[in-house]
Amino acid sequence: MIYAEKYGNGKQILIGIHGWGGSHQTFLPLKNLVHKDYSMINLDLPGYGKSSVLSEWNLPKLIEHITEKILKVSENKPVKILGNCSGALLAVLVSKSMKINVSHMYLIDPFSYAPWYFKIFTNKFFGEYAYKTTFKNPLGRIITNLSLSSKKQKETNMTSSFKNIDSDVSLNYLKMLVELENTTALENISCPITIIHGDKTFKSVFKSLNYYQKIWENSTIIELKKVGHLPIEEAPKKISKIIFNSNQN
């Protein structure tokens, strides 16, 4: 069962897909900024928030579950998708389903590969220990958040959400997304794509932008000044303006 929370009652549908450290509450800063013509429906991915855990951890099964939920909440209408961080990759995979009509994708600070500081958590010998030391330990979260000060605004906490996330769930998502590396899974996207990133984000995101520009000729890139890796939290009004004040189809 995938939980979904709805903001607004408009006819146009925007689906929110959070990243591996989030939940439907990732999109809470946008709640009062949703255009009157839209219904924004934010999902808890399987294993996160109020959603049940997958019985089988594999990417095709995950995408199937997400797609079926979107079809249900949208009543088979065309949708736009807002994918945050690793949720952007899931948004792309969902958009390739023949069952669903995605008219536009908005991808927030998307990685196209797992940098070493994420990949270390997938190591079969010490990955789980490294993850729990970093994200499940209060001191570890504080130190990690401080170490990321150049990638965020001063008041932003980039690690607090991990305290409520099951370690096995988070690590399984990371492992599945690592499987996308060196594949063509993200190519051949037909709908328009808007990529939004902060100018203070990770170097790996900037490197990923070059890759995305090569494979997505129909993409537009928007950089937000004085914003880090969490634009929805740090610049919700700017995000809202980009999504709701343009392409009012």
Q: What is the dihedral of CA 229, 230, 231, 232, to 10 degrees?
A: 160
- Level-2 CATH architecture, domain 4-113+183-244: 3-Layer(aba) Sandwich (3.40)
Residue with the larger pLDDT of the pair 117 and 175: 175
pLDDT at 48 over 50: yes
Strand partners, 224: 198
Rounded to an integer, what distance in angstroms lies between the CA atom of residue 158 and that of residue 19? 12
Sheet holding 219-224, edge to edge: 4-7, 38-43, 12-17, 79-84, 102-108, 193-198, 219-224
Domain edges within the chain: 4-113+183-244
pLDDT in tens, 78-90: 999 999 999 999 9
Rounded to an integer, what distance in angstroms lies between the CA atom of residue 61 and that of residue 36? 34
Strand partners, 82: 16, 106
Whole-number percent of the chain with pLDDT over 90: 68
Q: Residue 249: what pLDDT?
A: 41
pLDDT at 77 over 50: yes
- DSSP code, position 102: E
For residue 92, count CB atoms less than 10 angstroms from its CB and return exposed for 0-12, middle for 13-18, buried for 19 or more: buried
Helices (H), 9-113: 59-74, 86-95
Q: Residue 194: what pLDDT?
A: 98
For residues 128-140, average pLDDT? 79
Question: Could you tell me the two tokens for 140?
Answer: 């570890």
pLDDT in tens, 219-242: 999 999 999 989 999 999 999 999
pLDDT grade for 58, boundaries at 50, 70 and 90:
very high
Q: Residue 244: what pLDDT?
A: 94
User: What's the whole-number average pLDDT of the chain?
Assistant: 90
Q: Residue 248: what pLDDT?
A: 44
Rounded to an integer, what distance in angstroms lies between the CA atom of residue 86 and that of residue 181? 13
Cβ–Cβ under 8 Å, residues 8 and 39: yes
For residues 92-116, average pLDDT? 94
> How far does Cα 146 stand from its chain's mean position?
22
pLDDT in tens, 177-192: 999 998 999 999 999 9
pLDDT grade for 131, boundaries at 50, 70 and 90:
confident
**Residues 6+ positions from 213 with CB-CB distance below 8 Å:** 219, 221
pLDDT in tens, 195-214: 999 999 989 999 999 999 99
